[in-house]
Amino acid sequence: MKNFITMGLALTLSTLTLASKLDSSEFGQEILVVGKMSGACGIFKLQIEFQENTLMPGGIEFIERFWTTEAARLGVSLQDYAKQCGESVEAYKKFSALFQPTESNKG
């Protein structure tokens, strides 16, 4: 389970359609959705890291039940949720890069 989750978080499966194909409202919504999902995925990753460091009895089972339940609430499998995490993290990185200052726009 631990390896599956780690691999799922590391996936870089898709490229994003950026602002050139979205109006400003859609682009803003996309940023919000990506931010929220990548944040949830960060919690997922931190739980795994915590478990790896503490070896809490029953920890992996709890994490698996928790995230399987969350995935089911969203209507997807845990595997699909992990895939979406990988895609969201990659999208977050791309959005972050869009908003990094460049030499031409530094004050």
DSSP code at position 17: P
Instruction: Assess if residue 52 is contained within a domain.
Output: yes
Distance CA 73, CA 90 (A): 23
Angle (CA) 46 91 67, round 5°:
35
**Domain encompassing residue 64:** 2-11+24-93
29 in helix, strand or coil? helix
Instruction: Assess if residue 104 is contained within a domain.
Output: no
Instruction: Assess if residue 17 is contained within a domain.
Output: no
Asked whether residue 13 carries a pLDDT value surpassing 50, the answer given is: no
Instruction: Assess if residue 18 is contained within a domain.
Output: no
Instruction: Assess if residue 103 is contained within a domain.
Output: no
More reliable by pLDDT, 28 or 55: 55
Report the domain count for the chain: 1
Contact 78, 68 (CB under 8 A): yes
Instruction: Assess if residue 105 is contained within a domain.
Output: no
Q: Looking at residues 67-83, what average pLDDT do you find?
A: 93
Residue 49 banded pLDDT, cuts 50, 70, 90: very high
Specify the amino acid at residue 74.
L
Instruction: Assess if residue 64 is contained within a domain.
Output: yes
Query: 17-26 pLDDT, tens per residue?
Result: 444 455 678 8
CA terminus-to-terminus distance, the chain: 48
